[in-house]
């Protein structure tokens, strides 16, 4: 079973918006065993849309179209669909009722003709009711293939995919079973990791596929299996993962699609009833920001001092100026002093500190661009590392943030 | 001139990552007058890539390919490109040298064969050197059409597009002259703004196009003009902007595509020789992070205290606990105390403070989700505002950050 996703809209092609709808739809389809063959973004133009529909029909069994539905653009997509299916538009009373009730409840203005026209749908389509907006979803059956047209507003599209499209597809088609298992690793590059597990990878059976998904010092290994015998696939997946884990034990963080090192640390600290504070220089608040992005951080995160200026390291963190004079502001000694000072200041069990030069030019100290010192203070003591993280400012900052979390992770889980 | 963007990678088609590269590339191409006809995401599969290349060549003059370049086994793009151009891979000494120097400087491990192989490129291609990574960009000329293959890692791709692809395309093709002028406004919604400048907009000549680019309380107005007479367009653009500015004077921040309120503030503080410190509660470090993302922040930004826990507001910022008891932790009084305390602590002219509840549940205080109090301390005094910023955690945080910068902006420029 193959699908193709077509997204319609000039705003995508001029780079005004990032098409995040496709990733959502692709994930949902994959989960029920439908692979996405291609994603195509086309203009608000009937010739182009017709061409994309025709090509998609040749490649795929399920064609999902998003965007191009709305009070101003409606005509193009809906009329083009009517042309494609040699159909005409008729009024759907249910859709008109839905629009009228939405307007009465939320918009509180008179219904315009543009909005009333959104109730027009091709006569051969089944309406998928959009509870959150005026543009309905539409489902077309044609020669054992399915075409679904959805509004482009993300939360309207998502609700329709989850509540209508996925259940209907699962019912209509006999789908293979697909299983994904994603393992997060850190500290070993993509190619080194590939070399290390080469033998294991080469021996995977044909219905298994391994993907390396690298990002700044971390690599996600995604193992996927497909087949008709669900129980066999589950057993085989377990077997393969069990064989792999001992080989990556030292760099393995956890399973699950969206598990980050930060969230694993947060869960563990909450569980242990321990707290954390951060002193940031070159990372400029990004460690604190990354921690507090997730709800629930207040259970273990007390706060942070962004001591960007050297004076702030002395005045606010109360780092001994002699340490700075002796070793320079970017040094493991200053990092360690910052970590223990912030731990004291916020009265926490753990402290993280960063000091470095993210570039593009040399800063307060004499440190080379890319030099970053990171320290971790624990109830048992303090330790630090010096890194060289490259010459790209944004990348140096994000890598330093990642390294800091990795160092803390090791400390928290070492016992 | 038409372009097509092809993004390669199973990770896009299974929905693991959102393809943000295409939007970036599309924006850059549009800026120099090349329209994007289609964006196509295909599998890591040579048959599929070949098909996409062939179709793109039929539709477009410029074909940009991203992704599918990397050291591991799923890399098939280069061989497929060699097939497509009836070419063979040869070693590029310059690329190998670049890889070796990156490894020596940053990776500090022996170069593996996998990484060494990244120096293999089709013999007919011109190498676009990737200063930030091991996978080079490749440029192919074929029958007056251009194919460019770029690595998929966003910051590597971006650097190559900005420094190599765009300049080379501008040089090789005679492109129409395009002029964009972007004006950043704040505090007035898109539709209200549209109403206010309707008359001006209706009178724009046909070769002018106005786009409204809204985002969380700010609207960018992008005015674009296209034509073959450069000088005429420049004069007309000046005339139109001069006519518009008086109408948006009260909400206008500045020009330039990437000029943010933060960078305007930074420039002005640097110019005045004034300094800034921040005390963040609900924004969790994001204000500091947004300031320090840009190089040069150390000239005016002294630092920040992220006082996430109430205790940290008392212990670290030394806010009077009586103020917290009397008015509750989310109150304009506490925000004002935080702002003046952080101003004192870091010895700065200006202070920003935020305290609020970003959700999803009620926190330390009794404040409703979405309530945020923001204070600005200046050499003349302190003032504050209370906002209700909705029920979506990420949005509440970003909106609070935006509001804080807008309040400071007003203060700095009021004289």
d(CA B230, CA A57): 45
State the pLDDT at residue B195. Answer: 84
State the pLDDT at residue B76. Answer: 84
- Cβ neighbors of A104 (< 8 A, separation 6 or more) are none
CB A63, CB A150: distance < 8 Å? no
State the pLDDT at residue A72. Answer: 58
- Cβ neighbors of B199 (< 8 A, separation 6 or more) are none
Flag whether pLDDT at A74 surpasses 60. no
State the pLDDT confidence band at A75, using cuts at 50, 70 and 90: low
State the pLDDT confidence band at A392, using cuts at 50, 70 and 90: confident
- Cβ neighbors of A54 (< 8 A, separation 6 or more) are A84
B338 touches chain A (CB under 8 A): no
The answer to whether A38 contacts B42, with C-beta atoms less than 8 Å apart, is: yes
The answer to whether A192 contacts B109, with C-beta atoms less than 8 Å apart, is: yes
Average pLDDT of the segment spanning B115-120: 90
**Percent share of chain B, pLDDT over 70:** 96
CB B328, CB B367: distance < 8 Å? yes
Query: What value of ipTM does the predicted structure carry?
Result: 0.72
CB A139, CB A63: distance < 8 Å? no
State the pLDDT at residue B140. Answer: 98
State the pLDDT at residue A71. Answer: 62
d(CA B153, CA B21): 9
Q: Which of A120-129, A188-197, A274-283, B157-166 has the lowest mean pLDDT?
A: A188-197
Q: How far is CA A172 from CA A159, A164, A228, in A?
A: 19, 12, 17
State the pLDDT at residue A73. Answer: 52
The tens digit of pLDDT for each residue in A86-113 reads: 999 999 999 999 999 888 877 667 787 7
The tens digit of pLDDT for each residue in B36-87 reads: 999 999 998 899 999 999 999 999 999 999 987 777 655 689 999 999 999 9
State the pLDDT at residue B82. Answer: 95
d(CA A257, CA A336): 34
B349 touches chain A (CB under 8 A): no
d(CA B29, CA B304): 39
Flag whether pLDDT at A184 surpasses 70. yes
Partner residues linked to B325 by β-bridges: none
Find tokens 């192989």 and name the residue. B117
Average pLDDT of the segment spanning B249-268: 82
Average pLDDT of the segment spanning B257-271: 84
A380 touches chain B (CB under 8 A): no
Average pLDDT of the segment spanning A123-149: 94
Q: Which of A60-64, B12-16, B39-43 has the lowest mean pLDDT?
A: B12-16
Helix (H) or strand (E) holding B267: helix B261-272
The answer to whether B364 contacts A298, with C-beta atoms less than 8 Å apart, is: yes
Flag whether pLDDT at A364 surpasses 60. no
Please give the distance of CA A269 from its chain centroid, rounded to a whole number: 24
**Percent share of chain A, pLDDT over 70:** 96
The tens digit of pLDDT for each residue in A220-269 reads: 898 989 888 888 999 999 999 999 999 999 998 888 665 678 888 999 99
State the pLDDT at residue A212. Answer: 84
- A302 neighbourhood in chain B, CB within 8 Å: 308-309, 311-312
| Helix, coil or strand: residue A215 | strand
State the pLDDT at residue B38. Answer: 97
State the pLDDT at residue B94. Answer: 96
**B166 Cα to chain A: minimum distance (Å):** 15
State the pLDDT at residue A229. Answer: 86
The tens digit of pLDDT for each residue in A39-48 reads: 999 988 899 9
Question: When comparing pLDDT for A113 and A121, which is higher?
Answer: A121
Flag whether pLDDT at B414 surpasses 80. no
State the pLDDT confidence band at B158, using cuts at 50, 70 and 90: very high
Supply B402's token pair: 């935006």
B308 touches chain A (CB under 8 A): yes
β-bridge pairing A2-8 and A62-66: parallel
pTM score: 0.72
d(CA B314, CA B216): 32
Supply B347's token pair: 């010895």
Helices (H), A186-226: 190-196, 198-202
State the pLDDT at residue A257. Answer: 60
State the pLDDT at residue B364. Answer: 56
Alpha-carbon dihedral of residues A356, A360, A365, A368, nearest 10 degrees? 70
Supply A305's token pair: 């001092």
B359 touches chain A (CB under 8 A): yes
B73 touches chain A (CB under 8 A): yes
Flag whether pLDDT at B400 surpasses 90. yes
Flag whether pLDDT at A197 surpasses 90. yes
Residues within 8 A of B (CB atoms), A 144-203 only: 180, 189-192, 194-195, 201
State the pLDDT at residue B377. Answer: 97
The answer to whether A308 contacts B288, with C-beta atoms less than 8 Å apart, is: yes
- Distance from the first to the final alpha carbon of chain B: 48
Flag whether pLDDT at A129 surpasses 90. yes
Backbone angles phi, psi at B380, to 5 degrees: -90, -20
CB B243, CB B200: distance < 8 Å? yes
Q: How far is CA B9 from CA A120, B12, B49, in A?
A: 38, 6, 10
State the pLDDT at residue A395. Answer: 87
**Percent share of chain B, pLDDT over 90:** 60
Flag whether pLDDT at A55 surpasses 80. yes
Partner residues linked to A63 by β-bridges: A4, A147
Q: How far is CA B331 from CA B323, B380, B403, in A?
A: 9, 21, 16
State the pLDDT confidence band at B349, using cuts at 50, 70 and 90: very high
- Distance from the first to the final alpha carbon of chain A: 48
State the pLDDT confidence band at B415, using cuts at 50, 70 and 90: low
Supply A188's token pair: 């070993």
| Helix, coil or strand: residue A385 | strand
């Amino acid at each position: 079973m193959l699908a193709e996703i077509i997204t319609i809209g000039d705003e995508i092609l001029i780079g005004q918006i990032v098409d995040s709808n496709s990733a959502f739809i692709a994930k949902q389809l994959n989960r029920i065993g439908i692979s996405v063959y291609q994603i195509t973004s086309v203009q608000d133009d009937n010739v182009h849309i017709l061409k994309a529909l025709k090509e998609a029909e040749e490649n795929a069994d399920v064609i999902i179209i998003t965007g191009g539905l709305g009070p101003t653009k409606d005509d193009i997509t809906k009329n083009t669909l009517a042309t494609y299916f040699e159909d005409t538009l008729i009024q759907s009373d249910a859709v008109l009722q839905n629009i009228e009730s939405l307007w009465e409840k939320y918009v509180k203005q008179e219904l315009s003709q543009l909005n009333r026209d959104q109730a027009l749908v091709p006569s051969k389509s089944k309406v998928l009711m959009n509870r959150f907006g005026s543009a309905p979803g539409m489902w077309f059956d044609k020669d054992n293939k399915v075409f679904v047209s959805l509004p482009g507003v993300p939360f309207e599209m998502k609700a329709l995919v989850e509540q209508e499209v996925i259940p209907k597809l699962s019912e209509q088609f006999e789908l293979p079973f697909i299983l994904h298992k994603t393992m997060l690793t850190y500290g070993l590059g993509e190619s080194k990791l590939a070399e290390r597990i080469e033998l294991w990878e080469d021996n995977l059976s044909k219905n298994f596929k391994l993907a390396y998904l690298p990002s700044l010092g971390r690599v996600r290994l995604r193992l996927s299996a497909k087949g008709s015998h669900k129980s066999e696939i589950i057993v085989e997946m377990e077997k393969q993962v069990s064989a792999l884990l001992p080989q990556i034990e030292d760099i393995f963080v956890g399973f699950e699609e969206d598990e980050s090192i930060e969230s694993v640390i947060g869960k563990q600290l909450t569980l242990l009833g321990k707290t954390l504070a951060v002193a940031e220089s070159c990372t400029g608040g990004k460690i604190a920001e990354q921690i507090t992005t997730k709800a629930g951080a207040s259970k273990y995160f007390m706060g942070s001092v962004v001591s960007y200026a050297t004076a702030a390291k002395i005045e606010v963190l109360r780092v001994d100026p002699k340490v700075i004079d002796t070793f320079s502001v970017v040094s493991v000694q200053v990092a360690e002093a910052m970590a223990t000072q912030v731990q004291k200041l916020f009265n926490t069990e753990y402290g993280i500190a960063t000091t470095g030069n993210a570039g593009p030019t040399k800063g307060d100290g004499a440190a080379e661009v890319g030099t970053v010192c990171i320290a971790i203070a624990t109830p048992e003591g303090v330790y630090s590392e010096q890194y060289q993280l490259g010459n790209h400012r944004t990348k140096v900052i994000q890598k330093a943030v990642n390294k800091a979390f990795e160092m803390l992770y090791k400390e928290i889980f070492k016992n």
